[in-house]
Structure 1
Amino acid sequence: MNSENTLALMAKLLVVNSFLLLISACSESHSNETANNYVQTAQIEQVNRQPSYQIDRQYVGKISAKQQSNLSFEFAGRVLETLKDSGDKVKKGNILAVQDVELLNIKANEIRAQINQVDAQIELNKANYKRAKELHLSNYASEQVIDELTAEKSILTANKNGLKASYDALHYQISKATLRAPYDGVINQRLIAQGDLLSAATPAFTINNQNQQEVSLGIPAKVAKELAIDEELDVEINKKTYAAKIIAIGQQIDPATRTLGLRLKLTQPINAVSGLIARVSIKEHIPDSGFWLPLTAITDGVRGQWNIYTAVAQGNQFKILPETVKVLHTTKDSAYITGLTSNQISIITAGLHRYVPGQIVKAKGANE
């Protein structure tokens, strides 16, 4: 009886094991079939060939005043007083310094006295001429007396004119003994002091017109050809960006820097000191055809080359093919490449490390 029960139990266990093995085999077959049918997704985008590209370049220049003058006295003399100093803001006509004019005033008074003396002599000549004329009519005076008085009058008049010219010259020199600001601006440097004895044209002050500031710089000739008068460019000064218009493009290459001079006028006044560094942004046009791609679409290849993965359509799926390209220019998040013959290509734009050449993929977002 025990033997029969044991055999029955073993038969039941055998049936259960066979059933479990059958279920396991079916499940494994289904898993293999699912794995074999799985196709990985990829982010695929279509890009078109561009005829050219632009590079944003920055060139360093400096702020300069449109008007910058070296002021000096026209005549020699001793400095009586200086009224302005370095860094002072001045208005047109403000007095900067004064020369001692005491000696000039003495000379002017002396000449004035001589003019008065000549005036008295001219009055006497007129009276003598009148009497001589009356006597001549009565035959009591000769023609010679009349001629002498006429000549004397001409001599006195000439002397008076000469003295007046000397007097005017002294007054002009006295007026130029006061040095005034020729325009609104800022004194850069005071070069004289009270009591200095100056010769004519000795530099006394340097002054800038801060209301008319310009940016000057040098650029390559090929870049200058693409610019035009009145074109607006961005200028960075003290980490702030301002607009400026081109007012002049040089026509002579600097032999030292091999660049052409460029001058720009700021469209709004700024409180910047002369000589401050300014960075001018200029877009340089490069006539090379190619494609703009995101940086994530490029991977390193063999021997320092760069590769991209193109996606060739095969029905609803794509086959990955590698292409070697040349990178011409990069920005913060994109690159301009060349080396492809097609005018339109589909590429994988992200996650290139997850794919291999020849792999079949489907576009991300496509229906399963």
Structure 2
Amino acid sequence: MRDKKVDQGKGTSGPGRLRRLARTLLGFTTFSLNTALAGAVVMIGVTTIQMRAEEKPRIDAAPLTEVRFFRPDPQPGYEVARSFTGRLEPARQTDLAFELTGTIRQIRADEGDTVERGDVIARLDTRSLEAERRRQLANRKAAESDLELAELTLNRRRKLQQAGHVSEEVLDRARLAASRLQASLAQIDAAMETIDINLDKSVLRAPYDGRVGARLLDEGATATPGQPVLKVLESARPTVRIGLAPDVAGRLDREETFTIRIGSRAFEARFTGIRPDLQTRTRTIEALFELKGGTALPGFGQLAELTLSERIDAEGFWVPAASLKEGPRGLWTLLTLAEAGESNTHLVVREAVEVLHMDADRAFVRGTITGATRIVADGVHRVVAGQTVRLQKSGA
């Protein structure tokens, strides 16, 4: 029976092995077919992509950017306009005061009034002086009468002395009496002259053509000697006082005409001189300018502005401010044009420059550029260094 079981086991192992082999061959065949199919799909996809890439339309290159350029003009230097501020003031101003003590009887000018030289603008009460003058005048008339009598007496004594009826002593007394009366007349004349001087000093007159700046006392006030009553400002020669640096003041020419602005108006001015001392706080020297045609001037004390041009010797070029471009590390650059080989095509090149002076729309620069350098005039934001560009036909 054991032999039968063995035979049965041998009989069943052959067909099972065949079935496993068949399944293995079938799986390998299926894998190969799948791999081949996947490869075919990949090849078809790649081929399709290549065909579509070849079918994409070609894009033409953009036209070259056109730029406008200029050639700089070499300059030996440039001028810098410097402004200095001062004040408008009268050439002369006087505080008018009486030399005598007295009551102010009349003031004939008010603040802002125009006066001419010699005009009477204030008076003191002079009734006591006038009375004293009348008394002295009466004394003089009396002295004149006494002198006339003394001279008649002297003449009679001389005749009597010649006839031998009068001594020399009597004649001398008559002569000396007449001399005393003449001295009294001279004393009275001196007193009257003093009164006339005091009467003249009791009147304030304008010392020059001008305007009344301030009225410090009114009628009825008691004026003391030297106490200001009116301030008069001369209007004929308005003057501007401006503080300048010593080197600038030293270059001023008296024959040159300067322009000074006061507010929105411009005036021609003549340089009249400078003060010899240096202002310690501002380290400036005050220069004086006399305005020409100074009629209807603005009020004294207004600010005045003087603009002077200073020459700076430095070789460089004037370029438009629009042609400058900010570079690295705070430098400024210009875009220049170098020939690219083809007709009318140029290569953009960056050149570093130093800005020496800047105006409203131009700058004075120096660097490695020359008078033959082509510089991009404007539109520097549209091009970059290394770009090929074309020149505009209107370029210089």
**C-alpha deviation, 1:61, in angstroms:** 1.4
Q: Does structure 1 residue 82 correspond to structure 2 residue 107?
A: yes
Moved more, 210-219 or 314-323: 314-323
Q: Equivalents in 1 of 2:394, 2:308: separation in Å?
A: 43
CA distance in 2, matches of 1:51, 1:67: 45
Structure 2 gaps, min length 5: 1-51
Say yes or no: does 1:154 pair with 2:174.
Answer: no
Q: Which residue does the alignment assign to 1:13? A: none
Judging changes above 3 Å, is the alpha-carbon distance between structure 1 residues 50 and 344 closer, same or farther for their aligned structure 2 residues? farther
Partner SS for 2:131: helix
Match of 1:334 in 2: 362
Measured in 2, the distance between the counterparts of 1:186 and 1:267 equals: 18
Kindly indicate whether the alpha-carbon contact (under 8 Å) linking 1:79 and 1:97 is maintained by their aligned counterparts in 2: yes
**Structure 1: distance between partners of 2:276 and 2:256:** 17
CA drift of 1:100 comes to 0.6
Letter in 2 for 1:69: T
Choose which of 345, 359, 362 in structure 1 pairs with 2:387: 359
Structure 1 SS opposite 2:146:
helix
Counterpart of 1:72 in structure 2 is 97
SS of structure 1 residue aligned to 2:70: strand
SS at match of 2:195: helix
**Could you tell me the TM-score, scaled by structure 2's length?**
0.79
Kindly indicate whether the alpha-carbon contact (under 8 Å) linking 1:229 and 1:249 is maintained by their aligned counterparts in 2: no
Equivalent residue runs for 1:232-247 within 5 Å: 232-247=257-272
Question: By how many angstroms is 1:343 displaced?
Answer: 5.3
What CA deviation, in whole Å up to 9, does each residue of 1:126-167 have, x standing for no partner? 111111111111211111122222222222212211210110
Residues 30-69 of structure 1 aligned to structure 2 (within 5 Å): 32=60, 35=61, 38-69=63-94
Q: How does 1:1-368 map to 2 (within 5 A)?
A: 28=58, 32=60, 35=61, 38-271=63-296, 272-313=298-339, 316-340=344-368, 342=370, 344-365=372-393
* 2:25 corresponds to: none
Per the alignment, in what secondary structure is the counterpart of residue 296 of structure 1? helix
CA distance 1:314–1:233, change in 2 (3 Å)? farther
The verdict on how the C-alpha distance between 1:190 and 1:366 changes in structure 2, with shifts beyond 3 A counting, is closer
Moved more, 221-230 or 286-295: 221-230
**Normalising by the residue count of structure 1, what TM-score does the alignment of the two structures yield?**
0.85
The one-letter code sitting in structure 2 at the alignment partner of 1:336 is: F
1: CA distance, partners of 2:251 / 2:376: 36
Q: How many residues align?
A: 340
Task: State the alpha-carbon separation in 1 of the partners of residues 305 and 229 from structure 2.
Answer: 33
Please name the residue that 1:5 is paired with. none
AA of the residue aligned to 1:290: G
Equivalent-residue separation in structure 1 for 2:140 and 2:375 (angstroms): 101
Structure 1: 5+ residue stretches without partners: 1-20
1:27-65 per-residue CA deviation (whole Å, 9 max, x = no partner) reads 83xx64xx28x4322111000221111122221111111
Contact 1:230–1:247 (CA<8 Å) still a contact in 2? no
CA 1:314–1:243 in structure 2 vs 1: closer, same or farther (change >3 Å)? farther
SS for the counterpart of 1:103 is helix
Q: Secondary structure of the residue that 2:71 maps to in structure 1?
A: strand
Change (3 A) 1:193 1:125: same
* Structure-2 separation of matches of 1:193 and 1:335: 62
Offset of residue 313 of structure 1? 4.1
Identity of aligned residues (%): 26
